[in-house]
Chain A
Amino acid sequence: MKLGVLFSGGKDSAYACWRAMQHEEVACLVSVLSRNEESYMFHTPNVRWVPLQAEASGIPLVQGETEGKQEEELADLQQVIRLAVERYGIEGVVTGALQSVYQASRIQRICADLALWCFNPLWHEDPHQYLEGLVSHGFRAVIAGVFSRPFDASWLGRELDRTTVRELEGIARTHRITLTGEGGEYETYILDAPFFRKRIVVQESESEFRHDRGVYRITRAALEEK
């Protein structure tokens, strides 16, 4: 079955893509560039670097844009998915939804309306096992944004390795955040994955942190051989 993976550039969509590739044919990545940093549906930090990830993986990318207004952005997403159907003949869509009923049910509806299959291969994954698996299978992610206490500027650009996972587990226990960041507490950007043919090297970046919120913006990056 030919599938399109909703790809935000973060760890969840990358892991879902990798899992989908082990079971079906991933024909393209589908990405929506939101102009609204508060987007309900689409992760925004560094989403403009998704084309570099597509190039690193050798998977075609279908990209669209949205103003990011609640519910209107769903129509924009539907339009981009329709484009992926036309260009690559996809029969289904894969998401990286872990626990979010809000996200999963909206994409289920879009797929139902377009007569497409919908797959959520990370659905209700154990958070600890998921992050451990991510690290042990060779995914390299950096923290691309923090949006809640107790995260501070030191987290921006930090690699999601075992040490970071252990610290996140401590914070999840003491501050009632989701360990995986699915509540929007933090966002990530993938630099390398088992299905990447090349890895991404960040050459320049800038961080901005104010009022318990911060983003790590990549300003220059390139691919290098693995």
Chain B
Amino acid sequence: MILIVDLCYREGSLSAFEFVKPVAGIVRGNEFPLQIRHRSRLTPQDLASAERIILCGTALRDSAFAGHPQTFAWIKRVRVPVLGICSGMQAMALAFGGSLTPSREIGMTEVRCTCPDPLLEGHGRFSAYEVHGAGVVPPPGFTVLAESDRCIQAIRHPDLPFYGILFHPEVRNEWVVERFLTLSWRIC
């Protein structure tokens, strides 16, 4: 089961149509069973039954998730692949001791891969849709996988398949989500 975590300002928000539903559509389109949970309603059972976890983005002005970093302490305990998209990347970075830095990008931006990794392999440069007001200073040990002219676009945990991507793959780069769903990782 793929666990999709809604980071928006409240459960059942108007933003979920824009930031959660399109990601769920990709997962469903690839015939994976899924469960959507708001960040405030995650249970240990949800996490225990997840085979992969996707943290979705939020509206540009929605940074409510960042006010409660302890909400995401569970990321450090799970042992399944995690993909954080935009605000999801920011939440992941905060959970591991990184920080946020002001950086606004809206619209299509060129992303350049800077380090080989199975998630983005074969796509050295590509155009990606961005809607964010902050970038991340990666947590200690995380590898930077991709950048734009303005900020870091993708990071990975030093040992585990925990990824953060700042752009929105659900727009014109669905292949990133599809690859995250299908790549095999061994987690010790």
Query: Do A and B actually bind?
Result: yes
A112 proximal to B (CB < 8 A): yes
What is the predominant secondary structure among interface residues of chain A facing chain B?
Answer: mixed
* B60 x A20 contact (CB < 8 A): no
Residue in A24, A106, A116, A121 whose beta carbon sits within 8 Å of that of B18 in the complex: A121
* A19 touching B131 in the complex, CB below 8 Å, given contacts A105-B108, A117-B61, A124-B171: no
Contact among A20, A101, A124 with B22 in the assembled complex (CB-CB below 8 Å): A124
* B-chain residues with CB within 8 Å of residue A121 when the two chains form the complex: 14, 17-18
A119 B59 Cβ-Cβ under 8 A: yes
Give chain B nearest CB distance to A128 CB in angstroms: 12
B60 x A118 contact (CB < 8 A): yes
Contact B108–A101 (Cβ < 8 Å): yes
Q: Is the CB of B107 within 8 A of A105?
A: yes
Q: Tell me if A108 is interfacial: C-beta within 8 Å of chain B.
A: yes
- Given A123-B17, A123-B18, A124-B22: A109 and B59 within 8 A (CB)? no
Q: Contact flags (1/0) for A186-216 with B, using CB distance below 8 Å?
A: 0000000000000000000000000000000
**Is A120 in the interface zone, CB < 8 Å from B?**
yes
Interface residues of A in 87-128 (CB under 8 A from B): 92, 94, 101, 105-106, 108-109, 111-112, 115-126
B173 to A: closest C-beta gap in Å: 12
Chain B residues lying within 8 Å of A20, measured Cβ to Cβ, are 14
State how many angstroms separate the Cβ of B137 from the closest Cβ of chain A. 22
Chain B residues with CB under 8 A of A126: 25
Q: How far is the CA of A122 from the CA of B14 in the complex (A)?
A: 10
- Give the docked Cα–Cα distance between A109 and B14 (Å): 19
Q: A112-B60, A125-B21 are in contact. List 9 more A-B contacts (CB 8 A).
A: A101-B129, A109-B107, A112-B61, A112-B133, A117-B59, A117-B62, A118-B61, A120-B18, A125-B17
Interface residues of A (CB under 8 A from B): 19-20, 23-24, 92, 94, 101, 105-106, 108-109, 111-112, 115-126
State the B residues within 8 Å of A (CB): 12-15, 17-18, 21-22, 25, 59-62, 104, 106-108, 129, 131, 133, 170-172
